[in-house]
Amino acid sequence: MRLKDKVIVVTGSTTGIGEAIARRFSQEGAKIVVHGRDQERAQKVANDIGSTAVHVDDLADPEAGQRLVATALESHGRIDGIVNNAAYVVRSTLDSTDVELFDRVMAINVRAPMLLLKAAHEELKKSSGAVLNIGSINAYCGEPNLLAYSISKGGLMTLSRNLADCLCLEGIRVNHFNVGWVLTPNEYHYKIADGLSEDWPEKVPRSVAPAGRLIKPEEVAAAAVYWISEESRPFNGTVLELEQYPIVGRNPLKEEND
């Protein structure tokens, strides 16, 4: 077991990538602090993986990080790692992004990870802990209808690199995933709401899914194990693109029949 007895806080661990990470880390021997906004879903995940630590909170609240750290310490007495996975994914363009929406996106996607690490700073120093921030390839540009979200993921990527530099002499590692197109339950329903048919995952072009399918949450979770484990100890400030093709520098996509 690569994470045996490590206490890991995983935000947004009641669905999608976060849930997959919580389940995989538990299989690797970790003690998971489950977090989400839905008590029933959080408790189900906790019951499934044998977790005794459940924290339900809205990370838009500036004090949520302190409460989450308190839950971890009350349950397990220490923190060995944090996976900042929770995110507010919302469609918005320049014209549709108002101040309230923008502030909530930034509060959850950028400010909350920073405040959680601030609250856990002393505990991570004690454990020479590891942090993995789950970002998005949208950090590099994004799409016209993902303005606020893309900006927030760019901010999270910079936060990861900055804190890796700030905290490296304290033995704390901060690494970062820019995740590509993953077939989560939420993503499936987002696309249905966008007007796609129910079988849209089967029709994704090979140009953006060379494997013939989208990435699975479990595949992101499998990769995450290494970056929280002691095996990755030499690495700090690494930004890793988890996608089926090169993100930076790829030529414009061609039609599949060209």
Q: What is the mean pLDDT of each run of 10 residues along the chain (258 residues)?
A: 98 98 99 98 98 98 99 98 98 98 99 99 99 98 95 99 98 98 94 93 92 97 99 97 90 62
The answer to the question of residue 20 being in a domain is: yes
The answer to the question of residue 257 being in a domain is: no
The answer to the question of residue 45 being in a domain is: yes
Query: Nearest-CA neighbor of 89 among 20, 13, 145, 10?
Result: 145
The number of beta carbons lying within 10 Å of the beta carbon of residue 247 is 14
133 in Cβ contact with 159 (< 8 Å): yes
| Per-residue confidence (pLDDT) for residue 101, from 0 to 100 | 98
What is the span of the domain harbouring residue 24? 7-242
CATH at 165: 3.40.50.720
| 137-167 burial: b if 16+ Cβ within 10 Å, else e | bbbeebeeebbbbbbbbbbbbebbbebbeeb
The answer to the question of residue 203 being in a domain is: yes
The answer to the question of residue 258 being in a domain is: no
pTM here? 0.95
Q: pLDDT tens digit string along 143-195?
A: 999 999 999 999 999 999 999 999 999 999 999 999 999 999 999 998 999 89
Length of the chain: 258
Domain count, the chain: 1
The answer to the question of residue 247 being in a domain is: no
| Per-residue confidence (pLDDT) for residue 238, from 0 to 100 | 98
The answer to the question of residue 1 being in a domain is: no
Residues labelled catalytic: 149
The answer to the question of residue 250 being in a domain is: no
